[in-house]
Amino acid sequence: MSLKSWIPRDTLEVELPITRDDFVEGFHRNVLIGEISTMSDFFEPFTSTQKELKGKLWGNEFKIKRLRRMFSPNQGLAVAHGKFKETMNGISVSMELTAFRGVIRFSHYMLFVFYALGIIAMIILSAADDTLRPALIALPFIVFHAVIFLVLFRFMMRRSVKKLKYELERELHYFTKTNNSTI
């Protein structure tokens, strides 16, 4: 099993019967324009905007995510990076959604390092006492603990990606029907 298959990713392709200018105007009207980064994520719950999405638009590409709110910590994990192009019937929007970024990526790496150092230190200290019995007893518990934490992270990421995909499909659909909806 490769790392790419472990990371929850999804794609979304939508045909919208609107023009490019209408899409850009709706994006600027309904999305809080700002940088999507790890540092900006820390202060997002304290924003007082009525907009539900945060994103950035450049050229024919955009990046968008759900704003994090105070008591919804896992809501804003996933990010959609998309491109749009004009077609005969409107615009075609294609997005890739992922949640393996920023703090989650850092947490995965730190957990891996922590568990690896713990296992190595336990084996070295047990070998220094000429008995590996404590290491052999504790090793299954440490591996079990590591698997639980990594699986919990994966479930959080997968749920966040699925939820963002559903919400973006819904928001883009309503965006084409009314002028005052959120994108």
Q: 12 with 80: CB under 8 angstroms? A: yes
The whole-number pLDDT of residue 69 equals: 65
Mean pLDDT score, 68-79:
69
Residue 45 has pLDDT above 70, yes or no: no
Per residue in 114-154, pLDDT (tens digit) is 888 888 888 888 877 777 777 778 888 888 888 888 888 88
Per DSSP, 44 falls in state: G
The whole-number pLDDT of residue 3 equals: 58
pLDDT band, very low/low/confident/very high, at 172 (cuts 50, 70, 90): confident
- Domain boundaries of the chain, sorted by first residue: 3-99+164-177, 103-148
CATH architecture, range 3-99+164-177:
2-Layer Sandwich (3.30)
Residue 106, H or E segment? helix 102-128
> Whole-model pTM?
0.76
